[in-house]
Amino acid sequence: MTIPVKPGSTSSHEETTLGPIGMALNGVPIYNDREGGNVALDALTITTFDYSGAHPGPGQDYHYHTTGRYTTQDDAKLVGFLRDGFPIYGRKDTTGFYPALDSYGGHTGPTQDFPAGIYHYHASNVNYLNTGYYILKAGSYYGSKGTFTQ
């Protein structure tokens, strides 16, 4: 995955698409809240998730859609980076509260890794379909996306 070294906002916020939209710190791709056919994750699909909030796709490509035991739980932990170069964190900010997020699922402020402040995403704080899983990222990128090859 290549991402911008100095990510910035763009005037045309591109929608995330099927396939990898980022990468977790452990090297596992992050996908959005959609599945094949560009449909929202449903309860049946969620039954295929492991404790990590991930599953293998039709091509056996293991990937995250949601939070899980090994990415982030109810915390401010750095999960990884999206293709636009901005980091994605757990549901809370560094103060231990759930931050107010913009329409892209992020905000600008300090993090443990960027104490001077940076735009960053947070996992959704909505219990998706009452499953105990929380979507990592839905909607559009804040910045211009880089590339991803497998």
Amino acid at 1: M
User: Alpha helices, DSSP H only, in the chain?
Assistant: 43-46
pLDDT digits (tens, 9 = 90+) for 26-85: 999 999 999 988 899 999 999 999 999 999 988 889 999 999 888 888 899 999 999 999
- Domain membership of residue 139 (yes or no) is no
- Domain membership of residue 90 (yes or no) is yes
- Domain membership of residue 4 (yes or no) is no
Report how far residue 59's alpha carbon sits from residue 91's, in angstroms, rounded to the nearest whole number: 30
pLDDT digits (tens, 9 = 90+) for 47-60: 999 999 999 988 88
Q: How many domains does the chain have?
A: 1
Question: Helices then strands (H, E): number in the chain?
Answer: 1, 10
3 state DSSP class of 129: helix
pTM of the predicted protein model: 0.93
The whole-number pLDDT of residue 90 equals 96
Q: Which domain holds residue 83?
A: 22-130
Report how far residue 145's alpha carbon sits from residue 67's, in angstroms, rounded to the nearest whole number: 22
**Percentage of the chain modeled with pLDDT above 70:** 99
